[in-house]
Amino acid sequence: MSAMKSPQAFCALAMTCSLFSPAFAAEEPLVRVAILQEVPNARLTILAPCRATDLEKGTLVKQWPELKWQQVESGPSGLMIGQTEIHTDVLLLEPTRDAIIRINARPYRGTLILYRTARGKVTIVNRLGLEEYLVGALASEVGQGWPMEALKAHAIVSRTVVAHRIWIQRGQPFDVSPATHLYYGAQAEREDASAAVRATEGQVLSFNGELFSASFSTNCGGHTENASELWDMQGSVIAPLKGRPDPYCRDMKHYRWEANVGTKTFMEKLGDFSKQIGELRDCQVVERNASGRVRSVLLVGTDGSVTIPGRTFRERIGSDRLKSLNFTVTVSPAGISFSGFGWGHGVGLCQWGTYGMAIQNHTMDEILNFYFPGAKRRPLKGLPGFINIY
């Protein structure tokens, strides 16, 4: 379940740090967001009294009037915060009042869980309320100027994705990471994202009364993908994730792409596959799935031929270069040329199709019903694992 990074998302980085304090319901699920994983060290600043709790023993171990640009790293037998070594591998660090936490100068809300890892590194996890997390996450995913109905639909899908992660990641060190969701912390927060999260507070998509792995990608290229092409669904794929034609992203951003790769680079990237065929003579798509995406590619060379699964082929050539699996390929003396549609895996909500629907005055519910047919919008409260929350 990986959301593709879009250039719009990176616009949020350039913004000045203006914070839109969400002030959501006091009781809401907490989400654990991996900010830095397996790093040698990081710098922490909390300009408020804060305390550290050893999460292995459940005891309060240290308090500070404030922390200013203190280095966190793995020590000989525990976690180092500045010159202080705390003899635990898991530490909860909390400001005693609502204060911004800075990790390497970037601001975050909530509290921190610090892990000393087996490799002598540290992993830093930000724990905060689901709704306040979504404000920063939505603003990190979507650029400014989007219609409110599109933002609201995206907020519900993002909340569904994260709530599902909270449920399936029980017992793990964190729920989401940059591989799941873009999140640039409190500095990314914007008023439009805050309004969309607030307007849909606590609302998720469910199917047959359960959360499901709703997903999204930048542009589906004209047909959303059946989730079973991407994940092992252990049986038949549910109706909302079967994939469908999408006319709304046509001619929107990232609908078409072209890529050229030199023959030498192409063969190097395919490594062991290219060694089986000698010199490259041809490259052909041999099978496509129902959504038009490539299932397998045939390489033909002077010494033989080899078939490569489409997903392996895209990973080897590079998923930034081959922006999707919906492509055609030609081989010429100049190299290998690709022409394709869309950006990302294509499962679930198509971000640019959502934009396209909203500018044609479709409502949030119409957008959600289009991309997740059969799914129902409902409160998260009452679903398995969230019954007593809110």
Instruction: Pick between residue 151 and residue 188 the one whose CB is nearest to Zn ion.
Output: 151
Task: Choose which of 162, 350, 367, 380 interacts with Zn ion (CB under 5 A).
Answer: 350
Number of residues that bind Zn ion (CB under 5 A): 5
Q: Does 297 bind Zn ion (CB under 5 A)?
A: no
Q: Which stretch binds Zn ion (CB under 5 A): 64-72, 197-205, 246-254, 273-281?
A: 246-254
Bridge partners of residue 127, in order along the sequence = 32, 111
H-type alpha helices, 78-170: 130-141, 148-168
Does 246 engage in binding with Zn ion (CB under 5 A)?
A: yes
Residues 319-348 that bind Zn ion (CB under 5 A): none
Q: Which residues inside 177-196 make contact with Zn ion, applying CB under 5 A? A: none
Give the nearer residue to Zn ion in terms of CB position, either 202 or 346: 346
Output the six-digit token pair for 160: 């569904």
280 touching Zn ion, by CB under 5 A: no
Closer CB to Zn ion, residue 206 or residue 217?
A: 217
CB 261 within 8 A of CB 335: yes
String of contacts with Zn ion for each residue 206-235, x by CB under 5 A: --------------x---------------
Binding region for Zn ion (CB under 5 A) out of 102-110, 151-159, 238-246, 277-285: 238-246
Question: According to the binding rule CB under 5 A, does residue 292 interact with Zn ion?
Answer: no
CB distance 178 to 33 below 8 Å: no
147-167 residues labelled b (16+ CB within 10 A) or e (exposed): bebbbbbbbbbbbbbbbbbbb
Binding to Zn ion by residue 353, rule CB under 5 A?
A: yes
Place of tokens 């724990």: 127
For residue 34, count CB atoms less than 10 angstroms from its CB and return exposed for 0-12, middle for 13-18, buried for 19 or more: buried
- With H, G, I as helix, E, B as strand and everything else as coil, classify residue 256: strand
Task: Give the single-character DSSP code of 179.
Answer: T
Closest distance between Zn ion and the C-beta of residue 142, in Å? 15
Structure tokens at 389: 């929350």
In the complex, the residues that contact Zn ion under the rule CB under 5 A are 220, 246, 249, 350, 353
